[in-house]
Chains A and B, each alone.
Chain A
Amino acid sequence: MENTLSRKDLMRKIQELSFCAVDLNLFLNTHPYDAQALQDYQYVLNSLRQLKDLYNQNYGPLMNFGEAYVTGNSWKWVAEDEKWPWEGDMVI
């Protein structure tokens, strides 16, 4: 998949889909046999996976502890020119 989105827009898409995943997950916890919700969850998950991979390849790891690829020749998790989420949008 090619990246046509700015870093900020890609992050927003990930936040939106990730929110759908959280909300559907909570719904499924109390409605475990809801066919529509199961299908929606799977759909959201597939798109989310793709976008997260795209983000990882282009801007570095989103997750720690073995959940993101190493890109380039350094440990990008600690890159000093990267902002952390609580500092505001990572627009560079």
Chain B
Amino acid sequence: MWVYEKKLQFPVNIKKPNLKYANAVLTQFGGPNGELAAALRYLTQRINMPTSKSKAVLNDIGTEELAHLEMIQAIVYQLTRDASPEDFLKEGLQGYYAVWDNHIFPSSPTGEPFMAAYINNTGDPISNLHEDLAAEAKARATYEQLLNLIDDPDVTKPLSFLREREVVHFQRFGETLDDLQLHEGMKTQFVVKKP
């Protein structure tokens, strides 16, 4: 089970609303390399992991991703909470307003709602860890793209924090992969059981 803690992992206090920034950051909410996809990917894969260590790594990183999801929600919310229909029109984001008003919704910046197809689990734990390493690398690259677009330090500080966490997660998944290669990987015979 989970218990909620009434605090953000890293502070988010945005003074200047900006719909363009909000629209870009939305990708880390409901987009392909976003925090929702990350949390769902790890918290699902953990169930079938073979060792206690790999279960713990996926459980705990998946849990931290939920805290990141909350930070991204906070960023998008604080950038949009005072926006009027005219503001959306001015930025060409009337499509978003028409569907969701100024409420946050897990979609990509171009309006595709979140899809479970963003996570690519298989029946092989080692393949899944490779997927997790790729996911962390792609999330880091996405944060770098966002940092290239955004100038407001109130937004870039929490985004830089999130980018750094992807680096740490990548490292921990790498160690977990090494561990599984040594212990589980040796047992793997690449034989198709039912040809």
Cβ of B56: which chain A residues have Cβ within 8 Å of it? 29
Q: Check A85 against B74 for contact (C-beta < 8 Å).
A: yes
Secondary structure of the B side of the interface? Answer: helix
- In Å, the complex CA distance between A30 and B60 comes to 12
Inside 8 A of A29's CB, which chain B residues have their CB? 53, 56-57, 60, 172, 176
A30 to chain B, nearest CB (A): 4
- For the complex, is B8 an interface residue (Cβ under 8 Å from A)? yes
- Decide if A37 is an interface residue (CB 8 Å cutoff): no
Task: Give Cα distance in the complex from A76 to B11, angstroms.
Answer: 22
Most chain A Cβ neighbours within 10 Å, of B7, B60, B168, B175:
B7
**Could you tell me if A89 and B175 are in contact, using CB atoms closer than 8 angstroms?**
no
> B172–A26 contact, CB under 8 A?
yes
Report whether B7 and A23 are in contact in the complex, using a CB–CB cutoff of 8 Å.
no
Which parts of B58-94 form the interface with A (CB within 8 Å)? Answer: 60-61, 64, 70, 73-74, 77-78
- Tell me if B40 counts as interface (CB < 8 A to partner A): no
Given contacts A30-B53, A88-B13, contact A61 B78 (CB under 8 A): no
Which residues of chain B come closer than 8 Å to A67, judged between CB atoms? 3
Give the chain A neighbours of B13 by CB distance below 8 A: 88-89
Q: Does chain B have a CB within 8 A of A11?
A: yes
Residues of B within 8 A of A12 (CB): 11
- Extra pairs beyond A64-B3, A85-B6, A85-B74 (9, CB < 8 Å): A12-B11, A22-B64, A26-B168, A29-B56, A30-B179, A65-B3, A67-B3, A84-B6, A88-B78
* Nearest CB on A from B108, distance (A): 21
In B1-50, which residues have CB < 8 Å from any A CB?
A: 3-14
Chain B residues near A88: list those with CB within 8 A: 12-14, 74, 78
**Chain B residue nearest to A55 in the complex (CB):** B7
The reply on A62 being an interface residue by CB < 8 A is yes
The 5 closest A-B CB pairs, nearest first, are A86-B74, A30-B175, A85-B8, A29-B56, A88-B13
